[in-house]
Amino acid sequence: MMKLSFVAFFLCALLLISSSSTMAYPSSSSEDGGGVCGEKCKNRCSKAGMLDRCMKYCGICCEQCKCVPSGTYGNKHECPCYKDLKNSKGKPKCP
Q: Tally the domains of the chain.
A: 1
Is there a domain that residue 24 lies in? no
Is there a domain that residue 58 lies in? yes
Mean pLDDT of 27-43: 68
**Confidence at residue 22, expressed as pLDDT on a 0 to 100 scale:** 33
Is there a domain that residue 53 lies in? yes
Cβ within 8 Å of residue 41, ≥6 positions away: 54, 55, 58, 59, 62, 68
Is there a domain that residue 78 lies in? yes
Inform me whether the pLDDT recorded for 7 exceeds 80: no
Mean pLDDT of 6-31: 48
Domain around 54:
34-94
The answer to whether 82 and 94 are in contact (CB under 8 A) is: yes
Mean pLDDT of 1-20: 57
Inform me whether the pLDDT recorded for 34 exceeds 50: no
Cα-based distances in Å from 46 to 39, 40, 63, 95 = 11, 10, 19, 11
Is there a domain that residue 8 lies in? no
H helix or E strand, kind and range, residue 37: helix 36-44
User: Is 68 in a helix, a strand, or coil?
Assistant: coil
Q: What is the mean pLDDT of the chain?
A: 78
Is there a domain that residue 28 lies in? no
Is there a domain that residue 7 lies in? no
